[in-house]
Amino acid sequence: MQASLRRAISASYYALFHLLVDEATKRMLRGSDRVALRRCLARAFGHAAMRQVAQQFSDCNVSPKLSPALGGQALQPELVRVAGALVELQEARHQADYDPGHRFTRREALDLIGQAEQAFSDWSSVRRSVQADTFLTGLLAFGNMRG
């Protein structure tokens, strides 16, 4: 039972992770002749850096490296929830994958799956915004940005 719960929790995180990486790479490298290059770019996304940016967005405290792109606008609540889900799901995935002493309940796993599903829905409503582009840019390049 624990193995199934752990696998479901890990899969929930990776579903959101891959959604965001896919969205970012498709924006940066358009066209069917760029598939291999998008796969190469996808390998540049790091979990720790993504967590750092997601934490900023979920706290509505975006670094000066990225905040100018937001034009002084308050963050969209849906984007804040996506960022928060990425942080929480990554933390749960770490427990599921690396802490054999932690026991998960079925309810916890279902709640995390539901959070991932909500993040997909929320992303769908903000994905075409400048704020979403700013978030995706940060997920990839934050560590290399000056400012």
Domain around 29 = 2-144
Tokens of 75: 């963050």
pLDDT of res. 76? 98
pLDDT of res. 70? 96
Residue ranges of the chain whose pLDDT lies below 70: none
pLDDT of res. 51? 98
pLDDT of res. 146? 83
Task: Count structural domains, the chain.
Answer: 1
* pTM value > 0.85: yes
**pLDDT tens, residue by residue, 44-64:** 999 999 999 999 999 999 999
